[in-house]
Amino acid sequence: MCGAVLIGALLNFFYWLSTAARLEAAANSPAPQAKKIMLIGLLLRLGMIFAVLAVAVHISTELFLATAVSFGVFYFASLFVLARSEINRKF
**Do 45 and 15 touch, CB atoms closer than 8 A?**
yes
Q: How many domains does the chain have?
A: 1
The pLDDT score that the predictor gives to residue 81 is 84
pLDDT tops 70 at residue 90: no
Q: What digits encode the pLDDT tens for the residues 14-29?
A: 888 888 888 888 888 8
| Amino acid residing at 85 | S
pLDDT recorded at residue 44: 87
For residue 26, what are the contacts with CB-CB under 8 A and spacing of at least 6?
A: 33, 34, 35, 37, 38, 41
Q: At what angle do helices 31-59 and 61-90 cross, to 10 degrees?
A: 150
The CA distance from 78 to 73, in Å, is: 9
Dump pLDDT digits (tens) for 27-83. 888 888 888 888 888 898 888 888 888 888 888 888 888 888 888 898 898 888 878
Domain carrying residue 50: 2-90
Q: Which amino acid is at 47?
A: G
pLDDT of residue 48: 85
